[in-house]
Amino acid sequence: MSVERTYKEINERIKAGKAVVLTAEEVIDKVRAQGISRTAQEVDVVTTGTFGPMCSSGVFLNFGHPQPRMRMSKVWLNNVPAYAGIAAVDAYLGATELPEQDPANRNHPGEFRYGGGHVIEDLVAGREVQLKAISYGTDCYPRTKLETTISLDKINEAILFNPRNAYQNYNCAVNSTERAIYTYMGVLKPHFGNASYSTAAQLSPLLKDPYFKTIGIGTRIFLGGGIGYVAWHGTQHFPGFIKDEQGNNLTGAGGTLAVIGDLKQMSSRWLVGTSFIGYGATLTVGIGLPIPVLNEEILEYAAKPDEELYAEIVDYGLDYPNSTGRTLGRVSYAQLKSGTITLNGKEIPTAPLSSYAKAREIAGTLKSWIQKGEFLLGEPSQLLPGPDLGLKGKALT
């Protein structure tokens, strides 16, 4: 008889300390050994994890008022501008923002040693950060200038809100041109000198629920070392599939998450300021999602191994920047993780950008939180849009 579970039943088992939790890596071995049905009967939750650069990240801050009060119209943190076009002492600091006067790519390739993501790391690590603000002054908010030092515990709120994280899948990037190129997929050597990829594959959250049967608004997650939530679907959430020659669905691709959580309970181990030479600054974010084994079908996707998950190979020298839509083929994550792939008869060394070792640690941490009863599953108020809706990106004209 095939198993059916509800969130409520799983949470009761978690509270009783009886829930059976495996990481997405562990569950693969179990399914290989004893099949889907028996594993589905035994396992309540599968935990996933990913730890990679996620540019669409940032933090809403409320500094509290100085005396006299101030309606901050421009704000800088360690000389990095934050968006202050919201209420008086609120601001949003984005991960990719660069300091004023940063040379960026004027001396190519730029270093991008510090940016918004690094400020977020400094804050979450408890380090002091210089706050500078200016205002045009009003009757109720007369102050026009402020320079002071803040730290995370001195300010009212710091809410991490990342509008596009945990990309379901990513291209395997190569470079066909004559020169090295500097991209968000790292440095790509000329003449297909290397191949870059960036997912935790068999551990990665959205690859393990490609039909969005469990992930929705209110899903409780591991976020930056603390507890966070799925707030919405992410920007550019166009879930679909990489297909084989016969048009069969192979691997989910195109889904994204908007996530939210209290920065004050997160850790600089799992939110790390990051620089890509010649490209920019960003934030590496740790995210883990629990997948409740509500039925066998959900487990079947959650147990997909690297051998059955694919990435498309894309030329970042030509096709990606020009949006031609052309791909050079597809490759399994098992091949990518082996260290070399073969493209047109040529062996190409591969390297990841997303840390598989840390993804495993995140899935393991989430597993232990659930086993200890510290983390209950959040039942989504509404599931995220799935691939059946056929959402597609629009091109700007």
Partner 1 sequence: MAPEKIILRFTAETVKKPIIYTLAKEYDLVANIVKASINPDQEGTMVLELTGERYDEGVRFLEQQGIKVQPLAQEVRRNEDKCTHCGNCTAHCPTKALFIERPSMNVQFNQDECILCLMCVKICPVHAMEVRV
Stretch touching partner 1 by CB under 8 A, among 35-43, 141-149, 245-253, 357-365: 357-365
Q: Site residues for partner 1, window 217-236 (CB under 8 A)?
A: none
> Which one of 71, 304, 360, 367 is in contact with partner 1 (CB under 8 A)?
360
- Is 196 one of the binding residues for partner 1 (CB under 8 A)? yes
Least distance (Å) between residue 109 CB and partner 1 = 9
> Which one of 20, 125, 277, 383 is in contact with partner 1 (CB under 8 A)?
277
Residue number with CB closer to partner 1 (135 or 199): 199
Least distance (Å) between residue 114 CB and partner 1 = 10
- Is 56 one of the binding residues for partner 1 (CB under 8 A)? no
Q: Which of 1, 140, 357, 396 is catalytic?
A: 140
- Is 187 one of the binding residues for partner 1 (CB under 8 A)? yes
- Is 338 one of the binding residues for partner 1 (CB under 8 A)? yes
Least distance (Å) between residue 364 CB and partner 1 = 13
Residue number with CB closer to partner 1 (219 or 335): 335
- Is 358 one of the binding residues for partner 1 (CB under 8 A)? yes
- Is 273 one of the binding residues for partner 1 (CB under 8 A)? yes
**Nearest residue to 64 (alpha-carbon basis) of 130, 154, 141:** 154
- Is 189 one of the binding residues for partner 1 (CB under 8 A)? yes
**Residue 54 · residue 165 · CB < 8 Å:** yes
Q: Are strands 195-197 and 346-352 parallel, antiparallel or unpaired?
A: parallel
Scanning the structure block, which residue is given the tokens 């839509």? 325
Residue number with CB closer to partner 1 (53 or 380): 53
Helix/strand/coil (H/E/C) assignment for every residue in the chain: CCCCCCHHHHHHHHHCCCCCEEEHHHHHHHHHHHHHHHHHHHCCEEECCEEEECCECEEEEECCCCCCCECCCEEEECCEEEECCCCCCEEEEECCCCCCCCCCCCCCCCCCCCCHHHHHHHHHCCCCEEEEEECCCCCCCEECEEEEEECHHHCCEEEEEEEEECCCCCCEEECCCCCCEEECCEEECCCCCCEEECCCHHHCHHHHCCCCCCCEECCEEEECCEEEEEEEECCCCCCEEEECCCCCEEEEECCCEEEEEEHHHCCCCCEEEEEECCCEEEEEEEEECEEECCCHHHHHHHCCCHHHCEEEEEECCCHHHHCCCCCCCEEEHHHHHHCEEEECCEEEEEEECCCHHHHHHHHHHHHHHHHCCCCCCCCCCEECCCHHHCCCCCCCC
Least distance (Å) between residue 80 CB and partner 1 = 17
Residue number with CB closer to partner 1 (135 or 198): 198
- Is 330 one of the binding residues for partner 1 (CB under 8 A)? no
Scanning the structure block, which residue is given the tokens 């232990």? 368
Binding letters toward partner 1, positions 7-36, x by CB under 8 A: ------------------------------
Stretch touching partner 1 by CB under 8 A, among 16-24, 86-94, 238-246, 269-277: 269-277
> Which one of 8, 18, 108, 113 is in contact with partner 1 (CB under 8 A)?
113
> Which one of 355, 369, 377, 386 is in contact with partner 1 (CB under 8 A)?
355
140 annotated active-site: yes
Residue number with CB closer to partner 1 (64 or 339): 339
345-383 exposure pattern, b = at least 16 Cβ within 10 A, e = fewer: eeebebebbbbbebbbbbbbbbbebbbeeebbbbbbeeb
- Is 317 one of the binding residues for partner 1 (CB under 8 A)? no
Residue number with CB closer to partner 1 (6 or 338): 338
- Is 272 one of the binding residues for partner 1 (CB under 8 A)? yes
- Is 357 one of the binding residues for partner 1 (CB under 8 A)? yes
Q: Are strands 310-315 and 172-174 parallel, antiparallel or unpaired?
A: parallel
Residue number with CB closer to partner 1 (225 or 352): 352
Catalytic residues: 140
Q: Which residues bind partner 1 (CB under 8 A)?
A: 51-53, 113, 186-187, 189-190, 194-196, 272-277, 284, 337-339, 349-358, 360
